[in-house]
Amino acid sequence: MLAGLALVLSWPTFGYLLLGVFIGMWIGAVPGLGGVVGLVLLLPFTFSMDPVPAFALLMGLYAVTSTSDTISAILLGIPGSVASQATILDGYPLAKKGHAGRAFGAAYTVSAFGGVFGALLMAASLPFILPVIFAFGIPEFLMLGLLGLTMVGVLSGGAVGKGLIVGLLGLLLTTIGYAEATGVPRFNLHTEYLLDGLPIIPIALGLFGIPELLEMAVKNTSISRVKMADESRGGMLRGIKDVLKHRWLTIRSALVGTYVGVLPGLGGSIVDWIAYGHAVQSAKDKSQFGEGDIRGVIAPESANNASRAGALIPTVAFGIPGSLGAAILLSALVIKGLQPGPDMLTVNLGLTFSMIWDIAIANILAAGLLMLLSRQIAKIAFLPAHSVVPGVMVVLLMGAWVATSSMGDWWTCLCMAALGYVMKQGGWPRSPLILALVLGTLIENNYQLTMQLHDGLSWMYQRPIVVIIEVAILVTIFLAARGLTRPKSVRARKKKDIPSPSQSLMSFLLSAMLLAVFVWAFLNAKGFEDAATGEFPLAVLTLAIPLTLFVLIRDVRACRGGIKQAGGTAPAITAASLEWQLPASMRFFGYLLVMLATTYLAGQLVSLPLFVALYARRWGNFSWTMSLVYAAASLLLVWGLYAQVMNLRLYPSLLFD
C-alpha cells in the first residue's frame, strides 16, 4: 500500500491525476456523457505513457464523474449518469426548496468519504474478498437482480401498485430487440433501430429531464420555488452537519457500495438504488423521502463513490469488467502489456494499489474543489427559467445523441418525455422504470442460463449465497410492507397522497393506455415460435395485465368522483386542462417536434441553434441580439464539443451532408 501511495505522489504522476480530476469534474457535470465517454476520449493519449501516470490520468477522471454528476441531478432533476439516478429523488426537491447548497454540501462530503473509505476497505479486505467473488455464479447474480427489483416498492412511495406496473413496464422494455437466448427479434416494430434494444440514456434523460424543463418553461419559474433568501445561506455547512448527524448511514452505505460494487456486471448499476432503499427502510420517519429528505442524498452518493474501488478488483484480478468503464480500463491494461490475473496481485501489486490510491485521492480533490465552487453553482437554481431551459435542452438532446448517434435516440427521448409528463401529472412514480431497465436483461439472461445449467429448483436451497440473498429479499419485502401498514405512516400519507380530480383523470388515461400496450404485447408474445423467446415477456405480462386492470378500475372510480365534484364531464376536463396547463405544454412539445423536423432537413448545427433562438425570442422575450448570441453559443457547443472533441457523427441531413 505504501509503495502504491509513493507511486501516485511522485511527479509527473500526481500532475496527471490532477488533470484527470479536472476533466472528470467537467465531463461528469454534462448530462449524458459520464465516465465512459471521458475514458474513451483520454485513452488514445495514454498509449505512449508509462503505466502508472497513464492510470493516474484515467482513474482520476473515472473516480470523480460520479461526484460531479450530482450537479445536474440536484439542480435539474436530470441524471448526469447511471450513478446519480437515485440522487434525483430527494436532491431535486431540495433544490426546489432553495436548499441546493445543503444538498451539495452533503453530497460532496459523503462522496469524498465514500471514495476514500471504499478504496481503503477494498485494499484491506482484498485477501478475503476474492474467494467470495469466485463463489458467485449465475444463480447468485439472478437472485441479486431480484433483490434489486424489490427496491421498486421503496421507490413507489404510497403508490405501490402503480410502482409495480411501472417496474413491469421497464422489464417489458428490456425485451425489445434480439432475445439473447434465441437470437429472435421481439417487439421491434419492424425498425432496425430497435433490434439492439432501447438505450437507457435517452430514456432517463427524456423521462426525468424534459418534463422538469417543460414545467419551468410553462410556469416561467426558476428551479427553486422560493426566492434567494436566508435559507439558502450556510447551506454547505448545514449539509456537512447533516452528514455528521447521519454518520452511521454514511458508513453503512459506503459498506454497501464497496462490496456490491465488486460484483461484475451488476454492482455499479444498482448500488445507489440499494443504498437508497436501505436509507428508507432503516428510517423511523419515512414521510419526507421523495419530498427533499437529505438522507436520500447521503445514502446513494456515499455508495456510488465507494463502489468505484470495488469494481476495480474483478477487473484487475480476473479480467472480468464489471461495467463498460471497467472494460475500457481493462483494455488499457492490455495495451500496456499487463495481464489481468494473479500477476496484478503479486508482481504488479504496487500498480494495483496505486490505482486504488488514485480513486481515494481523486475523490478528496474533487469534493474539495466542488465545495469551493458549489456556492456559485447553487445560484443556478435561482436563475429565470427562460435563460436556463434552451441551453439545458441542447445539452440534454446531445447527451441523448451520445447513445447511438441515431435519430432514434431523439425519438426515444421525446416519447419518454411525453410518458414522463403524463406520469408526473397522474401521480405515477418514474424511478421504478429506470431500475427495471437496468436489471431486466440481466435477470432474463441469468434466469435462462440457470434453468439450462441446473435441473429443477434445487439451486434455490442448495447454494448458501442464494439462500442468504433470498432471506435479504424476504426481509426487504417485510420491511416495505411494514412501512406501508404502520398506522403512523398511513396517517402521514393520507393528506399528501389523495389525488386531485385532474390527477385521477390523467392516471386513468395512462392506466388505460398501459393496459392496451400490455394486451398488445401479450398477443404478440403468444405468437413467438420459440417458447424461450416469449417466456420472460409472458411472465412479466401475466403479472402486469391484471395489476393494471385493478388500478384502472380504481382510477375509474376516482374519475367519477372528480366529475361529480366538477359538475359534469366537460367542466372536469376543462378544469384538468387548466391544471395541466395543456395548451402551453403542447406548445413546448411542438417546439421540439419542429426542431426534429428541421434536423432531418438541415442537421443539428442548424436545428439546435434555431430552436434556441426562437425559444429565447418568442417564448423568453429576449431581444434579437441576446437570442442570436445564445444561439451562437449553442452552435459553438455542438460543433466544438460534440462534433470536434468527441468526434460524434452528426445527422447527415437532406440539405447538408
Highest mean pLDDT (candidates 36-45, 75-84, 183-192, 564-573): 183-192
Cα-based distances in Å from 368 to 67, 106, 381: 11, 12, 21
Task: Tell me if 283 sits within 8 A of 482, measured CB to CB.
Answer: no
CA 647 to chain centre: 25
pLDDT surpassing 70 at residue 316: yes
- Say if residues 46 and 20 touch (Cβ distance below 8 Å): no
Q: Would you say 161 and 547 are in contact if contact means Cβ atoms under 8 Å apart?
A: yes
**What does the alpha-carbon distance between residue 627 and residue 617 come to, in Å, rounded to a whole number?**
6
Which three cell numbers, joined as nine digits, stand for 596?
Answer: 426534429
Question: What's the average model confidence in pLDDT over 403-427?
Answer: 91
For residue 412, the model assigns a pLDDT of 93
Which pLDDT score is estimated for 487?
A: 45
Residue 178, strand partner residues: 185
User: C-alpha cell of 364?
Assistant: 478528496
Residue 148: alpha-carbon gap to chain centroid: 14
> Measuring CA to CA, which residue among 128, 108, 116 is closest to residue 357?
116
Average pLDDT over residues 426-430: 87
Report yes or no: 35 and 334 within 8 Å, Cβ to Cβ.
no
Let me know: does 169 contact 436? Beta carbons within 8 Å.
yes
* Cα–Cα distance, 592 to 579 (Å, whole number): 22
C-alpha cell at 259: 462490496
Rounded Cα distance between 63 and 57, Å, is 10
Average of pLDDT values for 301-315?
Answer: 79
- Average pLDDT of span 445-454: 84
| DSSP reduced 3-state for 186 | strand
Average pLDDT of the segment spanning 431-441: 83
In terms of C-beta distances under 8 Å and separation of at least 24 residues, what long-range contacts does 444-448 make, across chains too? 444/174, 444/175, 444/180, 444/181, 444/536, 445/180, 445/181, 446/138, 446/139, 446/141, 446/142, 446/145, 447/142, 447/536, 448/180, 448/181, 448/532, 448/535, 448/536
Whether 609 shows a pLDDT value over 90: the answer reads yes
The more confidently predicted of residues 307 and 552 is 552
Contacts of 281 (CB under 8 A, 6+ apart): 154, 476, 479, 480, 483
Q: Is-contact 417 207, C-beta < 8 A? A: yes
* CA distances (Å), origin 307, targets 257, 268, 311, 487, 608: 5, 6, 6, 36, 37
C-alpha–C-alpha distance, residues 588 and 568, integer Å: 29
Q: Pick the residue with more confidence: 564 or 545? A: 545
Report the pLDDT averaged over residues 335-345. Answer: 75
* Range from 33-37, 41-45, 297-301, 342-346 carrying the lowest mean pLDDT: 33-37
CB 588 within 8 A of CB 609: no
Higher pLDDT, 153 or 91: 91
6 burial type by CB count under 10 A (0-12 exposed, 13-18 middle, 19+ buried): middle
Strand runs (DSSP E) across 73-201, as ranges?
A: 177-178, 185-186
Distance CA 288, CA 617 (A): 39
Percent of the chain with pLDDT over 90: 18
Could you tell me the end-to-end alpha-carbon distance of the chain, in angstroms, rounded to an integer?
A: 54
Long-range CB pairs of 626-635 (<8 Å, 24+ gap) are 630/390, 630/391, 633/391, 634/390, 634/391, 634/394, 634/608, 634/609, 635/605, 635/608, 635/609
Q: Is the model's pLDDT at 110 over the cut of 60? A: yes
Phi, psi torsion values for 116, nearest 5 degrees: -70, -45
Instruction: Report which residue type is found at 127.
Output: P
pTM of the model: 0.80
- Statement: residue 491 has pLDDT above 50: no
DSSP tag of 528: -
Question: Which tens digits make up the pLDDT trace of 460-490?
Answer: 888 888 898 888 888 877 776 665 555 444 4
Q: What is the largest CA-CA distance in the chain?
A: 80
Q: What is the mean pLDDT of residues 393-413?
A: 89
- Tell me which of 108 and 262 has the higher pLDDT: 108
Q: Could you tell me which of 161, 163, 162, 147 has the C-alpha nearest to residue 442?
A: 147
Higher pLDDT, residue 456 or 293: 293
DSSP letters for 40-94: HHHGGGGTTS-HHHHHHHHHHHHHHHHHHTHHHHHHHS--SSGGGTTTHHHHHHH
Q: How far apart are CA 19 and CA 45, in angstroms?
A: 12
For the chain, give the mean pLDDT: 82
Q: Output the nine-digit C-alpha cell for 116.
A: 476514500
Cα angle for residues 310, 41, 319 (degrees, 5° grid): 35
pLDDT at 233: 54
630 vs 81, more confident = 630
* Proportion of the chain above pLDDT 70, given as a percent: 89
User: In angstroms, how far is CA 308 from the centroid of its own chain?
Assistant: 16
Q: Give the mean pLDDT of 139-164.
A: 78
What span, in angstroms and rounded, lies between the C-alpha atoms of 175 and 187? 8
Task: Report pLDDT for 514.
Answer: 94
Cell 403468444 belongs to residue: 526
Q: How many CB atoms lie within 10 A of CB 423?
A: 21
Contacts of 563 (CB under 8 A, 6+ apart): 501, 569, 572
Q: What letter represents residue 136's amino acid?
A: F
